[in-house]
Amino acid sequence: MRCSHPPVTRPPASRARASGRLCAVALAVLLILGTSAAASADGAIVAVKSKPANAKVFVNGYFKGRTPVRVTVSSARAESAQYRFTLVLPGYEKWDMHVSLAAGDNKSIDAYLERLPSLLAGRIICIDPGHPSETSPGCTGPTGVTENHINWVIALKLKDVLLAQGADVVLAKNAENEKVTNRRRATIANEANAAVMIRLHCDAASRSGFSLYYPDRQGTKYGHTGPSGEVQAASRIAANALHKGMKSVLAGILPSRGVHGDSATYVGSRQGALTGSIFSQVPVVTIEMCVLTVASDERFISSAGGQQTMVKALVAALETYFRQR
């Protein structure tokens, strides 16, 4: 069988030249686009380190990871442009730097972060690990964990953190089982001229949570009436601020049972205020860190993680208080 082919039709010379020009333009555009795409794909690389590490890294406001981190700036082009690198770490000054980047660049940043002045630096803080005293040895949890032990352990851990932040710390007793009267505890805070006295306790009740108490009226003990109206007002402010700070950390972990006056306690309802409050000349707040007689609270406060969280909550509480002063 013979195959027949249609005749070949050639375009006029002018059409051929026009078609050639179009192809050339198209090829040029493709080359330009290809070059641009290659530059965009290459981008720029910046290795970011900081002292201390674990700072958040932002480039032009966009989060890129935590130090140390290798950041790819894919928007870098052939022509260099300025990019703002920002490092953020709680407790440290924000760090900013503008870096000139072009496609293919490979640069590094080593940032030294400066610590912010601590809100606690220079503050005199009296920590009173509750019990044993003339009142009682403290309560005991379902599995035998004692309030006296928990109060002491938390106090020591809190002391270490506060000292590291530059605070002056005074303890109201020197050993876990040392018996110190509530009157003497108040005197220790007074003699130190403490900015605040926090009295660490664990409650005995049926409902889980933490709560705070402050002297809401005067009481009388051993012939002495106190505290003054000024101390009552300052203690109320302190209690609310401390509660706010603790709640910011403990939310979803341990419920708040609120802020109350001393008069709501068993002892306070009979003598007007807690003995430690009656003799206090500085702002004083009793913190029931948990309800030790509730099994879940006992597990929380006796665990290493729970104690770390409680210390963090107490530090946040003190920072909140001093921030408001």
pLDDT > 70? residue 265 = yes
Say yes or no to pLDDT of 103 above 80.
yes
Question: Bigger pLDDT: 118 or 31?
Answer: 118
Whether residues 100 and 59 fall in one domain = yes
Please indicate, yes or no, if residue 21 is contained in any of the structural domains: no
Distance CA 282, CA 199 (A): 12
What CATH number does residue 51 fall under?
A: 2.60.40
What's residue 92's pLDDT? Answer: 87
Shared domain for 199 and 140, answered yes or no, is yes
Residue ending a domain, among 112, 146, 172, is: 112
Neighbours of 248 (CB within 10 A): 14
Q: Is residue 234 part of a domain?
A: yes
* Tens of pLDDT, residues 284-298: 999 999 999 999 999
- Pick from 30-34, 70-74, 173-177: least confident: 30-34
Q: What is the CATH number of the domain that holds 137?
A: 3.40.630.40
Is 68 within the bounds of a domain? Answer: yes
Assign 325 to helix, strand or coil: coil
203-259 per-position pLDDT tens digit = 999 999 999 999 999 999 999 999 999 999 999 999 999 999 999 999 999 999 999
Based on the domain organization, do 70 and 152 belong to the same domain? Answer: no
Into how many domains does the chain fold?
2
- The whole-angstrom separation of Cα 70 and Cα 192 is 50
pLDDT attached to residue 20? 41
Instruction: Tell me what pLDDT residue 90 has.
Output: 79
Rounded Cα distance, 54 and 69, in Å: 9
Q: Are strands 95-101 and 81-88 parallel, antiparallel or unpaired?
A: antiparallel
For residue 48, is it within any domain? yes
For residue 11, tell me if it sits in a domain. no
Residue type, 166: G
Domain span at residue 132 reads 124-324
Tokens describing residue 207: 């409902």
* pLDDT of res. 115: 86
* Same domain assignment for residues 100 and 142: no
Co-location of 103 and 142 in the same domain: no
Domain identity same for 188 and 298: yes
SS3 category, 227: coil
Same domain, 268 and 146: yes
Classify residue 166: in a domain, yes or no.
Answer: yes
Name the residue with higher pLDDT: 92 or 285. 285
| Residue 75 maps to a domain | yes
Summary mean pLDDT of the chain: 89
Q: Do 196 and 94 belong to one domain?
A: no
Residues 97 and 133 in one domain: no
Of 62, 90, 112, the last residue of a domain is 112
Residues 83 and 206 in one domain: no
Please tell me whether residues 105 and 200 are part of one structural domain. Answer: no
If you count DSSP H runs as helices and E runs as strands, how many of each does the chain have, helices first? 8, 15
Q: How many CB atoms lie within 10 A of CB 143?
A: 9
Nearest to 158 by CA among 272, 242, 259: 242
Q: How many CB atoms lie within 10 A of CB 164?
A: 10
Q: Mean pLDDT across the stretch 288-316?
A: 98
Single residue among 112, 145, 173 that ends a domain in this structure: 112
Q: Are residues 225 and 140 in the same domain?
A: yes
User: Is 4 part of any domain?
Assistant: no
Alpha-carbon Rg for the chain in angstroms = 34
What's the pLDDT score for residue 30? 27
User: For position 14, what pLDDT does the model report?
Assistant: 41
